[in-house]
Structure 1
Amino acid sequence: MDNGAKVIEAAGARRRYGGGFEAVRGVSFSVGRGELFALLGTNGAGKTSTLELLEGLARPSDGTVRVLGRDPHTERALVRPRTGVMLQEGGFPAELTVAETARMWAGCVSGARPRQEALDLVGLGGKSGVRVRQLSGGERRRLDLALALLGRPQVLFLDEPTTGLDPEGRHHTWELVRALRAEGTTVLLTTHYLEEAEALADRLAIMRQGRIVALGTPAEVTGARPARITFDLPPDRHPGDLPPLPQIGVLRHELRDGRMVLHTDRLQHTLTALLRWAEQARFPLDRLDARTASLEEAFLAIAGDTADDLAPDTAAERAGR
């Protein structure tokens, strides 16, 4: 991955629709060559609207976007042959076979790879003669991906690529995307599967109400949230029997169905102090579990913030930018 070469750039990008609704509100980020960048957010956060600006399907209302150093809208003829796009819905003719669909699409792509090769990459090699209408939802998504790969793209846009796939198909797609990235393809991904983003992304951004409110590596974004230590509290004990929790770095605590939950931003320090105290006090810490925050926990805390006018810079810094 060569982060020095910015392949995708957005600077203060905005997108307004008729009636004045602003779906994208001053988004700025960049993606380096060979990097996989995930754009996350709840429904309506502005992910697809941002993606469409970068794909050249719409012009920013304000700000700029660049792909491979060019404006993807006004210089679409130069940018499009070097990019692959997988939309949420392919919209292919239902009566065409898989092979016919690939042949039709290859006619629109310069330097297309062999159609069978593209179908084999996504596990549809044995479905060439099947009509599109006979494919399952997951198979249609795999066909969408195959067509996005026909032109051997330098930049690949994937909008919810594994929706409808079973676990095996999802993991196969992950391996394919990793292989493409290893070959130098730059990938911009949107997904609702946080496990997918955590497994694949070099960096990610979380959007809320058209703004980026967290930006960084998965570890940086999750590291900004408190870690958690849990253990069973014996029936004859209560939280007051524990050592003074603030003194060992506990930010807050609660008792859930007999499980003591401690939240800390100093996991090693708090855990070490707790274990030493428990050894000396002969206090059992049954089913002890200590872990950093998951991306899901960070996402829910960040994307679900109730502040309607959250300032993007403040929010991103608070979330770990």
Structure 2
Amino acid sequence: MTNTETRPGTFVCSEGGLPGPLAACEGGAPVEIITARTVPLGGPRAINVRRTLPQRQRSLIGAWCFVDHFGPHEVADTGGMDVAPHPHTGLQTVSWLFDGVIAHNDSGGNAATIRPGQMNLMTAGAGICHSETSTPEAVRIHGVQLWVALPDEVRHRPERDFEHYVPEPVEFDAGTALVFLGSLLGSRSPVSTYTPLVGAELRLDPGGVLDLPVDPEFEHGLLVDTGEDVRLEGVHVPKDAVGYTGVGAQTLRVANGGDQSARLVLLGGAPFGEEVLMWWNFLGRTTEEITRYREEWQHHGERFGRVEGYVGHGGPGRNREGMSRIPAPELPPVQMRPRKNPPPHAQIDD
């Protein structure tokens, strides 16, 4: 998915920085609440997405650097998803649906149909472009789009990789889990990552409690998709927000005090030690890199290649606004400044 903000913010993600809005826990590991901001995705009939990463408060959870949460959107009302070809550098994209069907096409020659419970990961490396469009069979669209920052030693690789994985459900006393990246609850995903990560969908029954064993070297974020009374380590995590716990915990208690099933997305990983500059759809290290990526995209450079087979809602090769590709926004006329990531510990108000 693309970041379609016309004035996208600049993020430099590294250790150190300022605390943000906080929450105190009732026992166990401290929990920090990261609330979402609403961002329109698309043109005049845009669907809104709820973005929890990056924020001024916190830019990274492990190598997870971008979390967009969208839907449920009725396609008849919004027109669905129609994201024309757009570029990426220095990252992996992870698409995970709860409802709907999306067609993916990229410049690595990969064409895939994304369905609920099926993980699709695209590795940009030095450069890739892709399109994402809800298909005619989709009645509604609902899910998350996630980005993972690539470490310096692999981010310049020219390969444009794509992996598809359908995890088997893991049952526990209070619900089920689908582990799409890393290892959790005895389930291991075979999908390639370049830093230690975990990603999973959790379904928690009404009144259910899960004492979840986790890697103490990981920091974790728990996104609430559905559930009015979800608690992480005793702290209420509002719907659409992320409850963040830093490194050190060996078990995280997740509870659903509501009378409906809760659906959650757990993201975690080892703290990402590199400074990463993010602007629009590009991850780099310097302003000069970002400027070069933008110029190459605008001039149809070979770094990104070309998408074949994109059928938008405006017909073959066009989205409903008539665009065959998404142009980059204007760069700010300043040197991009760092936005620091706090240390990997929940920030707690005194």
Task: Point out the structure with the larger strand share.
Answer: 2
TM-score (norm 2): 0.27
**Higher radius of gyration, 1 or 2:** 1
Question: Which structure is richer in relative contact order (CA contacts within 8 A, separation 6 or more)?
Answer: 2
TM-score by length of 1: 0.29
The structure richer in helix per residue is 1
